[in-house]
Structure 1
Amino acid sequence: MSEQIWDKKRIASLYPLNLIAQHLLDRLLAQASLVHPKPGRSVIKRGEAAASHYHYLLAGEVEYRLSFEQRQTIDTKASASLNPLDELLQQGGSVKAGPECSILTLERGTVEQFLSWSESQAFRVVHMDDDPIVELSDVAIDDNYEDDWSEVFLKSPLAAHIPAATLMQLFSAIEDVELQQGEVVIKEHSSGDYFYLLKKGVAQVLTSARGPFEGASFELTAGSYFGDEALVADTPRNATVVMASDGVLGRLAKEQFEQIILQPLMHRLSEQELQQIPEPQRCYLDVRLAAEYKHGHYPKAQNFPIAYIRKHLATFSTNNTYIIAPGCGKRGELALYLLKQAGYKVFLMEELQSLDSSC
């Protein structure tokens, strides 16, 4: 579809597309479809594609029909047209095409992914002093420490939350790759395909001058791991990693990472399990952006976007049980991953559960 068809100014005003970074808009539209249904044709009905897609009115008008008597005409000047048409169907009914109607359709999962990409602001590499529980003196690295990469890794925040049997499975599945000085391990903006564990040598993380680290570089030594957050949140790489010396890098494919490491951590609480947590200790988190939270959220859930969680990890309470509210998608999984590595009790919530308590 030719570029001039897209009214980017209008698309950039639509919720929640208006929360997506402008430089990602073309990539988003490459996965969108635009249709021009004839007047009177059904655009969406409750229970159809509305559950998996967003539908937006780009031109013309539509008619929302709740019943034969209850009808509402919506054009592009109406405030309701700035939101997905799917929201009209909360009480039932259908949306019919009107004159000169143009409908933009996007998969909800695609929109969620681009929201995650927009919000992703930090490339996370794990040094042993990132863990507030571990004393630096316990993991001091000397000149020969690279031979003990496994000892360093076993003291990491990630390994602390992996059962011994799973660690053995991880070590068996990880693939060793010998690299030469100057070889690029990952490139900025590339898709996440592997989890990496440095076994021997030194690597350097190079960040963008326009990113949160303002072009700073970081050194990784044996036992450091990286690349995990891009796999959890399904976001592009936010830095380039280059070998600063010859070395050995262990890598785990995305599918194996999800099976061995991620899935066991992503426990969804059943209603019965939820009720077993003392009510004063339940703390519900909505980790979407503030504008998304204000647009609508589950009752009793407090808004803690990913950027806030990263910055204030040390301020959460070990006395609480944190429960990620439904609807947070991949960002909810990333929030769980970050909080769990920091030593907190955190779970996902089943989609159909009701919220009945607060922090």
Structure 2
Amino acid sequence: MIFTSGASVHEPYYACETSIDTLHEHAVATARTLVPLNALQPRFLTDLAPHIAVQALSAGDLLFAEGSVDHQHIYLLFGEVELFNGVGLPERVRAEATSAPLAHQQPRPCSAVATSDTTVVRIDSDLLDRSLSWSQISQYLMSELALQRDLDEDIEWMQTVVNSNLFLKVPPVNVEQIFARLTPMVVHAGERILRQGEIGDCCYFIKEGEAVVGVYNEVTGTVENVAKIGPGRCFGEDALVYEKPRNASITMTTDGVLMRLEQADFDLLLHEASVDEVAANELGGLPEFPTLIDVRTDEEYATGHLACSGNIPLSLLSMKKRLLSPGNRYVFYCNSGRRSRAAAYLLGKEGYNVMSLAGGIDGANLGDQLVAGENYVLRDGHLVSGQ
């Protein structure tokens, strides 16, 4: 957690002496009310919280300048700011009146200046987008798995895997492939699975049982146990990701079952699957103009979306895909293209005629074309006004 204080966004952030635990607790509690952080599952919100910067400003301090590019979501937690771009009257925004990021468009469409003692939160937009993608895809996968009755006894374990540390290293679009590539392995108490210093050729998930992580102490010449790990935990993946020797030993403390993922399969998972994409300026050149579907959260959609587009959040895609007609062409979009590529990949495999908007709203510079209050819903595969 970073706490900052300063008058200019051009100045570096410096940590000050304050309670890290208090700031962390405050940031997590506040994030649960902010759009779209309120859509994150608790595990992903907890992982994101240490990367949140809390900044204190005084009246007259500049929060951001018109035309600047900072690639951040900036939220007003306390106080009041004034937004102005030299055209028309300035807009005053109070913390209690908004849960959406301030003037969220790059480059910034206006300047923001604090008009009172003010506290804001800054979050790296790409990091937040990744967390949203992982969180919402895990919800999609669990919805799909819940429909497979033959997997009932494995649902809880599979849900743990989806929320595991390996999940954060794999492109979101590839996550569902993990289960198909895992092979079971029965192990026994006292069995050493990994040895520190060896070259890695696979990684493991613990399906059943517990293990201990040991690290060699060069001073004492002994292996010291530093952590215990249990079901759902992945280990050994760092040696594959960074192509370095194992940095710890893993020994089973109970009998159990591991799921092994070979390096060749792991390498395939690191490369994002191919997805059909279309640039914004090419939409009119398609055989027929497609139906645009916003796969962000419903609150993101309500804040501002492309004109004449519907909304099916990625997390609800499993339940709401029945609203789409396999014979119609759809183009999914989101902020970066990350969530829309995942949605297009998942439904494309099922035979739907789907594409992703290349670069998303941000990459296609469509931020100034977003509208609010003009909502559409899907009926018989087509959009109709939701008013």
TM-score interval (norm. to shorter): 0.5 to 0.7
CA distance, structure 1, for counterparts of residue 87 and residue 284 of structure 2: 44
SS for the counterpart of 1:40 is coil
Match of 2:288 among 279, 288, 292: 279
Conserved? CA contact 2:331–2:354, under 8 Å = yes
What is the TM-score normalised by the length of structure 2? Answer: 0.54
Is residue 144–residue 318 contact of structure 2 (8 Å, CA) maintained in 1?
A: no
Q: Which residue of 2 aligns with 1:29?
A: 49
1:104 aligns with 121
Give the whole-Å Cα distance in 2 for the aligned partners of 1:199 and 1:18. 32
Offset of 1:322 from its aligned partner? Answer: 1.8
Asked whether 1:306 is paired with 2:314, we answer yes
Cα separation, partners in 2 of 1:125 and 1:85, compared to 1, 3 Å = closer
* Paired residues of 1:285 and 1:324 also in contact (CA < 8 A): yes
After superposition, the Cα gap between the structure-2 partners of 1:248 and 1:320, relative to the gap in structure 1 and judged at 3 Å, is: same
CA distances 1:76-131 after superposition (whole Å, capped 9, x unpaired):
23x1x42212249999331113332222100112222333344332547999x99x
Q: What is the number of equivalent residue pairs in this alignment?
A: 260
Q: Is the 8 A contact 2:207 2:257 kept in 1?
A: no
Distance 1:332 1:91 in 2: 24
CA pair 293-328 structure 1, distance change in 2 beyond 3 A:
farther
* 1:347 partnered with 2:364: no
CA distance in 1, matches of 2:130, 2:264: 22
Partner Cα distance (1:312, 1:202) in 2: 37
Check whether the contact 1:43–1:95 (CA below 8 A) recurs between aligned residues: yes
| Residues 189-223 of structure 1: per-residue CA shift (max 9 Å, x gap) | 2222465554977899969xxxxxxxxxxxxxxxx
C-alpha offsets along residues 242-262 of structure 1, whole Å, 9 cap, x if unaligned? Answer: xx9999855546664454x61
Tell me: CA distance 1:122–1:54, structure 2 relative to 1, closer, same or farther (3 Å): closer
Contact 1:56 1:83 in 2 (8 A): yes
What secondary structure sits across from 2:354 in the alignment?
Answer: strand
**Aligned equivalents of 2:31 and 2:65: distance in 1?**
23
Match of 1:190 among 165, 171, 176: 165
The match for 2:35 is: 15
Q: Contact 1:45–1:89 (CA<8 Å) still a contact in 2?
A: no
Query: 8 Å contact 2:185–2:260 — kept in the other structure?
Result: no
Structure 2, unmatched stretches of 5+, are: 2-19, 149-159, 171-176, 187-204, 209-255, 370-381
Map of 2:379 onto structure 1: none
Scaled by the length of structure 1, the TM-score of the pair is: 0.57
Distance in 2 (CA, whole Å) between partners of 1:295 and 1:25 is 21
1:267 aligns with: 276
- CA displacement, residues 8-38 of structure 1 (integer Å, 9 cap, x when unaligned): 5544322222333345444322111112234
Q: Aligned AA for 1:67?
A: G
Residues 161-189 of structure 1: CA deviation (Å, up to 9, x unaligned)? xxxxxxxxxxxxxxxxxxxxxxxx96852
Which whole-Å CA distance do the structure 1 matches of 2:281 and 2:337 have between them? 22
| Cα distance in 2 between the residues matched to 1:69 and 1:318 | 47
- 1:332 is matched with 340
C-alpha distance 266-255 of structure 1, shift in aligned 2 (>3 A): farther
Q: After superposition, give the CA deviation of every residue in 1:295-348 in whole Å (9 maximum; x if it has no partner).
A: 221122211222443235566433222211242642212111111111222211
Following the alignment from structure 2 to structure 1, what is the Cα–Cα distance between the partners of residues 46 and 260?
A: 38
- CA distance in 2 between counterparts of 1:9 and 1:198 reads 38
What is the distance in 1 between the residues matched to 2:113 and 2:182?
60
CA–CA distance in 1 between the matches of 2:93 and 2:131? 27
Letter matched to residue 73 of structure 2 = Y
Task: Provide the rounded CA distance (Å) in 2 between the counterparts of 1:293 and 1:126.
Answer: 24
Question: What stretches of structure 1 of length at least 5 have no aligned partner?
Answer: 131-184, 208-243
Matches within 5 A, 1:1-359: 1=1, 2-5=20-23, 6=26, 8-22=28-42, 24-50=44-70, 52-67=71-86, 70-77=89-96, 79=97, 81-87=98-104, 92-119=109-136, 120-123=138-141, 189-192=164-167, 193=169, 196=178, 197-198=180-181, 250-252=262-264, 256-257=268-269, 259=271, 262=273, 265-270=274-279, 273-279=282-288, 282-311=290-319, 313=321, 316-327=324-335, 329-350=337-358, 351=360, 352=364
Percent identical among aligned pairs is: 20
Do the aligned residues in 2 keep the contact of 1:313 with 1:342 (CA within 8 Å)? Answer: no
Aligned-pair RMSD on alpha carbons? Answer: 4.3
